[in-house]
Amino acid sequence: MLVSPHRTERPWQGQVEKAAAHSQPVYDPECYLCPGNSRVGGVRNPDYTSTFVFENDFAALRPDTPVDRCDERGLLVAESEPGICRVICFSPRHDLTVSRMEAPALRQVVDTWIAQYQELGALAWINHVQIFENRGAMMGCSNPTRTARSGPTTRCPTSRARNRTRKPRTRAPSTPACFATTWRWSAPPPSASSAATPPLWRWFPFGPVWPFETLLLPVRHSTALDELTATERDDLAGILKRLTTRYDNLFQVSFPYSLGFHQRPTDGQAHPEWHFHAHFYPPLLRSATVRKFLVGYEMLAMPQRDITPEAAAARLREVGEIHAV
């Protein structure tokens, strides 16, 4: 990771995005995700009142993909990849983002993620369940209704497989993964006077590529969402709201990001070495309209940051958790 904070001093003549529209209606008759509306192909959404899950009408992966494989002398190998893509609507309200949802509704979202992870992961041919959310047009999400997707596949994706091999070689359950060690380093020294309950989660930049990237970790070792206690799930719902509120406050805009969970593979093994965590990748760099681009040197050599991770963390600490947008 190359850190070049002096880069933000250069005048910006590059692409400037349109600031996202602030106000959205509670219900949009033209939105294919809103309750009671028709989707492509004529399927009508039910009048859902909390979360709503359906099969993606434009799935990138399909369960009926025929098994196929080509192998050019073991060098060039291609295999077909069956999978299932589902869409999760967070709320019947068209206008609500995570930062504007109430904690009980977000807890419902957490529970829906867990149910989806368990249901899809239980299928014998599904070895990996990827849950993610793209927020905002800048991250490729054209619909303002809050949604997350899950994309289970037969194989563990390359980045995940790489992640796993980087973990400590010892596989005993008592050996924390390297992330767990990282949060211990990053933890503030315990204060003798503080009687507050110790936090169940930690969030901080960790080798962040994106300007305000955040890693979210449970303090207690767990391998996936379904191992979280009721209190940890409540806390996760609260943190989702607090962190996205801070993001919104940063540039006074409904902040775009990609959020995703890295959970243990669902290949039937226990994977005690896997430390469950979440990544927030927001693209904005200087303002509501100037984003970070990963081009040239970043594509060819290594990621490069225009602000230090410490400065980004300080900005996120400053902005506060009361919604100001």
Query: CB atoms < 10 A from the CB of 322, how many?
Result: 9
Nearer to Zn ion, 31 or 319 (CB): 31
- x-or-dash pattern for Zn ion, window 254-293, by CB under 5 A? --------x-------------------------------
- Reduce the DSSP state of residue 99 to 3 states and report it: helix
Binding range to Zn ion, per CB under 5 A, among 32-40, 108-116, 126-134, 216-224: 32-40
Q: From CA 116, how far away is CA 8, in angstroms rounded? A: 42
Nearer to Zn ion, 63 or 157 (CB): 157
145 binds Zn ion (CB under 5 A): yes
Nearer to Zn ion, 33 or 288 (CB): 33
Q: Which has the closest alpha carbon to 215: 307, 172, 146, 277? A: 277
How near is the Cβ of 28 to Zn ion at its closest, in Å?
5
Widest CA span in the chain: 66
Nearer to Zn ion, 34 or 312 (CB): 34
Nearer to Zn ion, 182 or 249 (CB): 182
Q: From CA 312, how far away is CA 204, in angstroms rounded? A: 10
- Residues with Cβ within 8 Å of 303's Cβ and at least 6 positions away in sequence, in order, are 1, 2, 209, 294
How near is the Cβ of 147 to Zn ion at its closest, in Å?
9
Q: Closest residue to Zn ion, Cβ-based?
A: 31
- x-or-dash pattern for Zn ion, window 57-96, by CB under 5 A? -------------------------------------x--
Choice from 20, 34, 114, 129 touching Zn ion (CB under 5 A):
34
Are 231 and 200 in contact by the 8 Å Cβ rule? The answer is yes
Nearer to Zn ion, 27 or 81 (CB): 27
Phi/psi at 297 (nearest 5 deg)?
A: -60, -40
Binding range to Zn ion, per CB under 5 A, among 1-9, 15-23, 145-153, 250-258: 145-153
156 binds Zn ion (CB under 5 A): no
209 binds Zn ion (CB under 5 A): no
Q: From CA 50, how far away is CA 87, in angstroms rounded? A: 14
How near is the Cβ of 207 to Zn ion at its closest, in Å?
11
Place of tokens 């563990």: 156
Instruction: Establish how many alpha carbons lie within 13 A of residue 303's alpha carbon, considering only the half-sphere containing its beta carbon.
Output: 12
33 binds Zn ion (CB under 5 A): yes
Q: What single string gives the DSSP state of each residue in 239-260? A: HHHHHHHHHHHHHTS---EEEE
* Amino acid identity for residue 28 in this structure: D
Contacting Zn ion within 104-123 (CB under 5 A): none
**# chain residues binding Zn ion, by CB under 5 A:** 7
Q: Quick one: how far is CA 242 from the chain centroid?
A: 15
Nearer to Zn ion, 69 or 185 (CB): 185
Choice from 31, 61, 219, 290 touching Zn ion (CB under 5 A):
31
- Reduce the DSSP state of residue 316 to 3 states and report it: helix
How near is the Cβ of 166 to Zn ion at its closest, in Å?
10
Phi/psi at 89 (nearest 5 deg)?
A: -85, 130
How near is the Cβ of 307 to Zn ion at its closest, in Å?
22
Nearer to Zn ion, 17 or 28 (CB): 28
Radius of gyration of the chain, Cα coordinates, nearest whole angstrom:
21
Are 234 and 107 in contact by the 8 Å Cβ rule? The answer is yes
Chain residues binding Zn ion by CB under 5 A are: 28, 31, 33-34, 94, 145, 262
